[in-house]
Amino acid sequence: MKVLVIKTSSMGDVIHTLPALTDATEAIAGVRFDWVVEEGFSEVPAWHSAVDRVIPVAIRRWRKHPFRTWRSGEWRRFRDSLTQTSYDIVIDAQGLLKSAWLTRYTQGLVHGLDKNSARESVAAYYYDQTHSVARHQHAVERVRQLFALSLGYTVPAIKGRFGLDADYFSNIQGVCPIQNYMVFLHGTTWKTKHWPEAYWCALARCVTARGYVVCLPWGNEKERLRAERIAFTVDGVRVLPQLNLRDIASVIAGASAVVTVDTGLGHLAAALDVPAVSLYGPTSPDLVGTYGEQQVHLTIDQYPSCNTQNNVEPPIFAPLTADIVWQALASIIRAPHRSAADNRLREMVCESTGVR
């Protein structure tokens, strides 16, 4: 059976779709998948062994320059890539008008959520077959159920498995003498989703005092400057060079634990089965939080604002102090280990700091 999946964005949504592929491959012998995904996340689907072809789409970019996209032929080439294969089934796992519209150019019976289940009800009118999936459950479970209904099997009665092989991210040797480390994923999109910088510094002191190195990846200039300020304030903190997505995954895969704000890389840590503490301020983890084993969610609702009068930015996170996060982190740190992922990290820290 050949199936086309349409799940374009965001990183967390794409990662949340992976367990459905794992379910399907165990239920249906020989099933294979192609996947339409936003160009910025095109690496992720290919990490699952059941995916043969990734078809990048650039809706975000095309919306900004529609005439340029049309004149360059980029849209035509994308459309042709959709029509070149006949599929047994096409699954729109996004449930939005933009993803449903793409199904018009596919060759196969199109399945998706019905008008009461989809995020945008109008999307359901583009599908040949619709399915009802209850809204008030985690996104991973909703996608697992959609795939099972579309492909004709029963969802396994176990927690979803992402199907990523950590060894895939751990195959480059290095020489830096860093054995045990944690990763702080401090960058995110909304201003109010950022955990206060002063708290990051305080948590870093707790972690380094226990003999761990703290590693800080970054993706833009603001994040780099924040990472450098934290590293300047606390000994034992390393700012990594700018990395591509696979290299960040490689670093995360070898970590003893991760602390993360509400960001796509936090979902990647969960998919790699790395213990993590995720921090939620204006958002809730109930329906789209990190999913997996040893995933701790800390929300501001758990800690009344009267517990602290700290003057921090953003103020929404004032009650969720570094001491609270450290207590949660200490409970899930996995045993010290030495892996090829550590070697990759040592190499990158050497390149950025000159330490041998």
Write out pLDDT tens, residues 220-268. Answer: 999 999 999 999 999 999 999 999 998 899 999 989 999 999 999 999 9
Q: Is the pLDDT of residue 79 over 50?
A: yes
Tokens found for residue 273: 């089965």
* Closest of 107, 105, 108, 112 to residue 91, by C-alpha: 112
| pLDDT value, residue 353 | 46
| pLDDT value, residue 60 | 80
Parse the chain into domains and list their residue ranges: 2-151, 167-353
| Euclidean distance between CA atoms 194 and 169, whole angstroms | 27
The pLDDT tens digits for 161-189 are: 999 987 788 744 332 336 689 999 999 99
The pLDDT tens digits for 16-63 are: 999 999 999 999 999 999 999 999 999 999 999 999 999 999 988 888
Give the bridge partners for 109, in sequence order. Answer: 89
For residues 168 and 97, which has the higher predicted lDDT (pLDDT)?
97
| pLDDT value, residue 200 | 98
- CB contact at 8 A, 76 and 97: no
Give the bridge partners for 308, in sequence order. Answer: none
Average pLDDT for the chain? 90
Mean pLDDT along residues 135-162:
97
Under DSSP, the state recorded for 171 is -
| pLDDT value, residue 99 | 96
Total-model pTM:
0.90
| pLDDT value, residue 173 | 38
Mean pLDDT along residues 108-137:
97
Within this chain, domains 2-151 and 167-353 share the same CATH topology: yes
Q: Among 126-135, 271-280, 307-316, which stretch is predicted with the lowest mean pLDDT?
A: 307-316
Domain range 167-353, CATH class: alpha beta
Q: Is the pLDDT of residue 100 over 70?
A: yes
Residues 218, 342, 298, 323, Cα dihedral to 10°:
-90
Which pLDDT band holds residue 72 (cuts at 50, 70, 90)?
Answer: confident
Which pLDDT band holds residue 335 (cuts at 50, 70, 90)?
Answer: low
Q: State the burial class of residue 308 (Cβ atoms within 10 Å of its Cβ: 0-12, 13-18, 19+).
A: middle
Tokens found for residue 30: 């020989």
Beta strands in the chain (DSSP E): 2-6, 32-38, 51-57, 86-92, 107-113, 129-131, 181-185, 213-216, 237-239, 257-261, 276-280, 295-299
- CB contact at 8 A, 344 and 250: yes
Give the bridge partners for 89, in sequence order. Answer: 3, 109
| pLDDT value, residue 174 | 37
Q: Is the pLDDT of residue 278 over 60?
A: yes
Domain 2-151 has CATH 3.40.50.2000: yes
Give residue 305's identity as a one-letter amino acid code: S
| Euclidean distance between CA atoms 12 and 40, whole angstroms | 12
Q: Is the pLDDT of residue 10 over 90?
A: yes
| Euclidean distance between CA atoms 356 and 345, whole angstroms | 13
Which position has the token pair 């359901």? 124
